[in-house]
Amino acid sequence: MFVRECVLRCNAKIAFVLLLASTLLACKDVEQSSELLNSFEPEFVAQWQKVVEASEPPAEYSLQAACTPQVIEANPQLAVKGTIIMVHGFTACNQQFFDWGLQLAAAGYHVVLPALPGHGLVGEQQDLLLESSGLANSAQVYSDFADQLVLLGQLSPGPSKIIAGLSVGGAVAAAVAIRGEQTFDKALLMAPFLAIPMTYSPEEGPQLEPLSPQEELDLLDLLNSETDNSEQLEQLWQQFAQLLEQFRTGVAQSLLALLKLSIFIPQLDYNWGPDCEDERMAGRAGICNFKISNLFAVDSFGRETLEAYQQADSLELQIQLVAVENDNGADPLAIQILAERLNSLVGEQASGYCLYDGTIVPHSFISKYDNIVLADEGAVDVHSSALANMEALWLSRFYSEAMEFIDSDTPNLFANEQGFCIQQAL
């Protein structure tokens, strides 16, 4: 009976992994100045073109306008303070940073907004059902892209060089930071996606073998079965329970491994649901659909990035980690482990970690396009209304503290006497 109850809980976890009630998703048009980039050296322009090419769609697709890689040049009336590279989240677009990017450019920073490979595609017939075709099925795609951003950072105008990212973009930024620690002065990691929510645990035990085709069919039948008293079903439950017990520590981690190693599950289509579609109808760029294999790719990349920090001996840059309590768009335990590791690697004087109240602040906490639910009922301009409410609640404080971190030689790492982002004792 215990096994049965345990596996029933496992089944719920499978449903969670597959359904992922998450807010991972996260304009005014930003003037595109990257065609000429007269303020930059030719070496930077050449490397920027490589970054752009990494995001170019296949011939049968095009990029949504608000997903095009962009460079917002610094206010020409000010001395250039440096360059900030900002990486958007999974299935979203660099539109997430348009408002903030304009503020940072006005303050004297070149703002570089790349597009993650395979993101923001649309078919020739504007067919949104096929737009996920370019998303990566391998962590290597994100790893290679991070390497390209390190090279771009090396060629970016100074004196300050900063890497920032949100969600999966936060994981990419974290990878860039540790690989380019001699290049970048600071990193701002916002709710980094280091693992599928509620699935991270230290990996122990032997590797799990992929399921056979017959086991795939048995698992599919098992997940769809409404029978609760079949002797055969009970045997299957016990078989899979024993298989999981031989693998990793943690039920969710074991189930995730089992699903990744299956043949059938990664090919399933998934959609973020009606909220995402409502946001897109209101002007949010990006996509709402993907395959489970696309999600597994970012999960693997995030775990590899966290492992790199756990294996590092030292780190020579300032890092601010900002997250949301009980985040359903990024694994909180994985973020906590990263925070503890950062504190160990660079110390309290060069690392900061704070959490926003998860009952107030969503995972995609900087984009008015991702948060139209906050708009006042009946608002004519839902984006302006959502932005006003975000600023009233938390966004203006975030912008202020982020600018202090970005702009100061001796930053006060998100002082928390006021505002919503509460420093956590490590």
Name the most confidently modeled range: 32-36, 134-138, 180-184.
180-184
Residue 190 lies in a domain: yes
Residue percentage of the chain with pLDDT more than 90: 46
Residue 260 lies in a domain: no
Higher per-residue confidence, 337 vs 132: 337
Query: Which domain CATH number covers 120?
Result: 3.40.50.1820
Could you tell me where the DSSP H helices lie in 1-121? 2-19, 42-54, 98-106
Instruction: Give the H/E segment covering residue 109.
Output: strand 109-113
**DSSP for 296-349, written as a single string:** HHHHHHHHHHHHHHHH-S---SEEEEEEETT-SSS-HHHHHHHHHHHHHHH-TT
Query: What confidence category does residue 217 fall into, taking pLDDT thresholds of 50, 70 and 90?
Result: confident
Residue 385 lies in a domain: yes
Q: Taking a C-beta distance cutoff of 8 angstroms, is the pair 258, 204 a contact?
A: no
Distances in whole angstroms, Cα of residue 350 to Cα of each of 150, 167, 188: 21, 22, 12
pLDDT score, position 165 = 98
pLDDT score, position 1 = 30
Q: Over the chain, what is the mean pLDDT?
A: 82
As a dihedral over the C-alpha atoms of residue 68, residue 286, residue 370, residue 81, rounded to 10 degrees, the angle is -20
Residue 71: phi and psi, rounded to 5, are -125, 120
As a dihedral over the C-alpha atoms of residue 145, residue 65, residue 192, residue 278, rounded to 10 degrees, the angle is -150
Instruction: Give the neighbor-by-neighbor strand order of the sheet with 318-324.
Output: 70-72, 109-113, 82-87, 160-166, 186-190, 318-324, 351-356, 422-423
Other Cβ atoms within 10 Å of 378 Cβ, number = 7
Query: What confidence category does residue 341 fall into, taking pLDDT thresholds of 50, 70 and 90?
Result: very high
Residue 252 lies in a domain: no
Higher per-residue confidence, 195 vs 129: 195
Residue 234 lies in a domain: no
84/156 Cα distance (integer angstroms): 9
Query: What confidence category does residue 245 fall into, taking pLDDT thresholds of 50, 70 and 90?
Result: low
pLDDT digits (tens, 9 = 90+) for 37-77: 777 899 999 999 999 999 998 887 888 889 999 999 999 99
Residue 31 lies in a domain: no
The total of structural domains in the chain comes to 1
Residue 96 lies in a domain: yes
DSSP assignment letter at 262:
-
Name residue 112's beta-bridge partners.
71, 85
Name residue 323's beta-bridge partners.
355
**DSSP for 333-393, written as a single string:** HHHHHHHHHHHHHH-TTTEEEEEE-TTTS-SSTT-TTT-GGGSPTT-SSHHHHHHHHHIII
pLDDT score, position 126 = 57
What is the span of the domain harbouring residue 168?
42-201+268-423
As a dihedral over the C-alpha atoms of residue 14, residue 15, residue 18, residue 23, rounded to 10 degrees, the angle is -120
Residue 221 lies in a domain: no
pLDDT digits (tens, 9 = 90+) for 137-150: 999 999 999 999 99
pLDDT score, position 8 = 34
Please state the rounded mean pLDDT for residues 84-97. Answer: 96
pLDDT score, position 29 = 39
Residue 121: phi and psi, rounded to 5, are -80, 155
Q: Is 19 exposed, middle or buried (0-12, 13-18, 19+ CB in 10 A)?
A: exposed
Q: Taking a C-beta distance cutoff of 8 angstroms, is the pair 67, 93 a contact?
A: yes
144/127 Cα distance (integer angstroms): 29
